[in-house]
Structure 1
Amino acid sequence: MSSQDYSDSYARDRAEIEDLMARYLFALDYNDLDSFIEMFTDDAEFEFARGRVAGKANILETVKGFKKRIGEHYKDEDGNPAVLRHVLAHTAVRVEGDRAWTRAQWFEMANDGPGKSLKMGTFGIYEDKLARVGGRWLFTERRILNEFLPGRESGPENPIRSMDAVAAL
């Protein structure tokens, strides 16, 4: 297992990265796509169940399409688009200078259960690469694995091992 360097700046870097990850989910869930797209570098890559895109303009269009499909798929019992909320579970963060990597578990829930109650929906793993640009941490790559879709699961090995292996390069 690769060891993490917990330098004096690690706590601050980790706090900033965790804040970025939380802001990402709030922006996504509350349809604040202007804030959402500012969390990526200009040449960032974004991969999810429907494919992989590069560049902020392509990421933004992809997420707009995703948001539209979600609104059509998730309905409350009255037929209205359900309120969908993503939740970030435990997160591992690896920092090496101005580069960082994360592995985090996520799940989502919506009010599409009986009586508009919460119903657990999908879940998976985020695999991120980040860079400090102009003093801010930004995503250079976000890979979203969906544990419930064939071919999109994280696999049997501990995801932290793959993060440490990439960071070691």
Structure 2
Amino acid sequence: MSNPTTFADQLADRLAIRELVDSYAHLADRRDAQGQAALFTDDARVAVYDGEPDLTEPAQVLTGRNDLATAFGSLRNYDKTTHFNGQSSVTLDGDRATGETYCLAHHLWTEEGQRTLMVMSIRYHDTFVRQGGRWLFAERRLITDWVDRRPSAN
């Protein structure tokens, strides 16, 4: 395991991890499920929670890039999505890191002739690993804090 020894190394790692997190959101909004899955290790795990992970069991667990690509493809059910990543924190430990990122995920679709907007307040608890000089997701816990669903005029 290589430990970053300089501030510049740590800054480069933090930037690379933030770019990874932002790439995930960008690819989701572009409906590139294979591209999203490629941001994860081969054996990555994603767990989806409707509440705090310490208090609830995951509603869904996905393992491996194939399962992830299939699940990410479900975003095609929406007319549009927009994911806004907000504050984030990262703790580096050599070739591993952990972090938390806040996200507001907007989903727009038409249902029975009515445009509908759903906004989800999400927190991602992530474990990252550096493989082949590239940061990837090893584990991602998606925690839904709240959901607002309403008719949309546009």
Q: Normalised by the shorter chain, which TM-score bucket?
A: 0.7 to 0.9
Match of 1:129 among 127, 130, 133: 127
Deviations 1:49-95 (A, max 9, x none): 4411111111112222x324xx2xxxxxxxxx532101100000111
Residue pair 2:36, 2:72 contacting (<8 A) in 1 also: no
RMSD: 2.6
Counterparts of 1:5-84 in structure 2 under 5 Å?
Answer: 7-8=6-7, 9-49=9-49, 50-64=59-73, 66-68=74-76, 71=77, 81-84=78-81
Q: 1:6 to 1:93 in 2, by over 3 A?
A: farther
Equivalent residue pairs, number: 131
Deviations 1:123-145 (A, max 9, x none): 12000001000000000001100
Show the counterpart of 2:150.
Answer: none
Residue pair 1:92, 1:103 contacting (<8 A) in 2 also: yes
Give structure 2 stretches of 5+ with no counterpart: 50-58, 110-114, 148-154
Q: Counterpart amino acid of 1:26?
A: H
Deviations 1:10-62 (A, max 9, x none): 11000000001111101011011221111000010011244111111111122
- How far apart in 1 are the matches of 2:75 and 2:62? 16
- How far apart in 2 are the matches of 1:110 and 1:41? 27
User: Which secondary structure does the structure 1 equivalent of 2:72 belong to?
Assistant: helix
Same amino acid, percent of matched pairs: 25
User: Which secondary structure does the structure 1 equivalent of 2:42 belong to?
Assistant: strand
Q: Counterpart amino acid of 1:125?
A: R
User: Which secondary structure does the structure 1 equivalent of 2:146 belong to?
Assistant: coil
TM-fit CA distance, 1:104: 1.0
Larger strand proportion of the pair: 2
State TM-score, norm by structure 1: 0.69
State TM-score, norm by structure 2: 0.75
Show the counterpart of 1:107.
Answer: 104
Larger helix proportion of the pair: 1
- How far apart in 2 are the matches of 1:44 and 1:95? 19
Deviating above 3 A after TM superposition, structure 1's stretches of 4 or more consecutive aligned residues are: 117-120
User: Which secondary structure does the structure 1 equivalent of 2:18 belong to?
Assistant: helix
